[in-house]
Amino acid sequence: MKRLKIGLTLLACLLVVVATAQAQDGKPVPYQEGLHYAVINGAPATTSGPMELVEAFSYLCTHCNTFEPYVNAWKKRKPDHVEFKRLPVVFGRGSWEMYARGYITAEMMNLPEAAHSAMMDRLWKENNIMRSMEELADFYSQFGADKNKFLATSSSFAVETRLMKDQQKVREYGITGTPTLILNGKYRISGNSALPSYDAMLDVVDFLIASERAGKPETGAAAN
């Protein structure tokens, strides 16, 4: 009985702490640093100009495919001052690197956005996996790419450099899984037990955008 009372007392104290962390200046804080998002160590100071939301992804990640309709819906309602970009990750996997190289090449050749959705559909709806750069070049030729130029560009110094810089960003941002969202190079949002859905992840993004816009990001618990 005594242990039960002690346990209830500790639980009550914990609830008080949580309630305090969720309130700031009398206003509820729906999302907390260290629980729903993380502040990236060594992040650059916020600068003027458009905010940037980056999706770390891989074409071979099934969760990234599932995330597509959610992020596409968000892009249609995003604020005008926020730009959306993608960051292809590799994680040391040869197959992931091939698709990352293909994505970067397509982007450098200014191929249409439709190629991205079509790639996801081919892999996950048609279950048609490509296993060489030649096959990728054939795929992107549907969207106006010259096959020989695509192959030459994919092995160019520019693509190699971009691929290397992108993977450096993956490490700097502390990305360990996909999809992960990075806002302004400062905040990392990824799915966890506190964010059980993709809608919740994007709600956190909206919250942080509004907080940054106001110039006073609201944080609750301490970051990891």
pLDDT computed for residue 220 by the predictor: 45
Rounded mean pLDDT of 112-124? 97
Per-residue confidence band for 221, with pLDDT thresholds at 50, 70 and 90? very low
Note the maximum CA span of the chain: 78
Residues 192-209 pLDDT 10s? 888 989 999 999 999 999
| Cα→Cα distances 174→79, 177, 182, Å | 26, 9, 10
pLDDT computed for residue 219 by the predictor: 52
| Cα→Cα distances 92→28, 68, 104, 108, Å | 42, 23, 17, 23
Strands (E), the chain: 23-24, 27-28, 38-39, 51-57, 82-88, 180-183, 187-190
Q: What is the pTM for the complete model shown?
A: 0.83
Instruction: Report the alpha-carbon distance of residue 16 to residue 52 in Å, rounded.
Output: 36
Within 32-156, residue ranges assigned H as helices are: 62-77, 94-108, 114-124, 133-141, 147-154
Instruction: Report the alpha-carbon distance of residue 173 to residue 56 in Å, rounded.
Output: 10
| Cα→Cα distances 190→79, 91, 117, 193, 195, Å | 21, 16, 22, 10, 8
Rounded mean pLDDT of 147-171? 97
pLDDT computed for residue 22 by the predictor: 44
Class of residue 211 by CB neighbours under 10 A (exposed 0-12, middle 13-18, buried 19+): middle
Per-residue confidence band for 44, with pLDDT thresholds at 50, 70 and 90? low
Structure letter (DSSP) for residue 195: B
Mean pLDDT, all residues of the chain: 86
Rounded mean pLDDT of 109-135? 97
pLDDT computed for residue 41 by the predictor: 87
Residues 72-92 pLDDT 10s? 999 999 999 999 999 999 999
Instruction: Report the alpha-carbon distance of residue 137 to residue 146 in Å, rounded.
Output: 8
Q: Identify which has the larger pLDDT, 21 or 161.
A: 161
pLDDT computed for residue 86 by the predictor: 98
Phi and psi based region of residue 174 (left: phi greater than 0; alpha: psi -120 to 50; beta: remaining): left
Rounded mean pLDDT of 94-105? 98
Strand, helix or coil for residue 60: coil
Buried b (16+ CB within 10 A) or exposed e, 76-109: eebeeebeeebbbbbeeeeebbbbbbbbbbbbeb
pLDDT computed for residue 47 by the predictor: 64
Amino acid at 26: G
pLDDT computed for residue 16 by the predictor: 34
Q: Identify which has the larger pLDDT, 26 or 55.
A: 55
Name the one residue in this structure whose structure tokens are 């007392």.
9
| Cα→Cα distances 36→67, 130, 198, Å | 18, 36, 12
Percent of all residues in the chain with a pLDDT value above 70, rounded to a whole number: 80
**Domains annotated on the chain, with CATH:** 48-212 (3.40.30.10)
Q: Identify which has the larger pLDDT, 143 or 30.
A: 143
Instruction: Report the alpha-carbon distance of residue 55 to residue 19 in Å, rounded.
Output: 32
Residues 1-36 pLDDT 10s? 444 444 444 333 333 334 334 444 445 668 999 999
